[in-house]
Structure 1
């Protein structure tokens, strides 16, 4: 009985920790959100209208010789 209740509590906690509304974008390196954190930047927009928040190391580099 204790094992069953411990398992249920663990599953309940895990379900609270994983957000269900954060869709992945930008080759699975970004997340669709209403607001980005300080360390993330917006590069594209998701199909649901939210911003695709991507860390700068995963964004393409600007090449000055290509316009």
Structure 2
């Protein structure tokens, strides 16, 4: 029974931990990662040579009609 409570306590502690090493980039809308998720795109690179993964709605739009 003690082993069960120890396991439950360990699992609860692990769920509270956040993954480290993610820095904010691109006006705090992106995150520095080794690989972007399926719903993100790379627009710039971070200072630590990782990709700055930004959701498309936060990226600047291309100007189709340059004047």
Q: TM-score, normalised by structure 1?
A: 0.74
User: Which sections of structure 2, spanning at least 5 residues, go unmatched?
Assistant: 1-9
Map residues 40-51 of structure 1 onto 2, 5 A cutoff. 40-51=40-51
Aligned-residue RMSD, C-alpha: 2.1
Shift of 1:29: 0.3
Q: TM-score, normalised by structure 2?
A: 0.74
Higher Cα radius of gyration: 2
**How many positions carry a matched residue from both structures?**
58
Please list every run of at least 4 consecutive aligned residues from structure 1 whose deviation after the TM superposition is greater than 3 angstroms: none
CA–CA distance in 1 between the matches of 2:13 and 2:27?
30
- String of CA shifts for 1:10-55, please: whole Å, max 9, x gaps: x9442x2x12100000000000000000000000000000000000
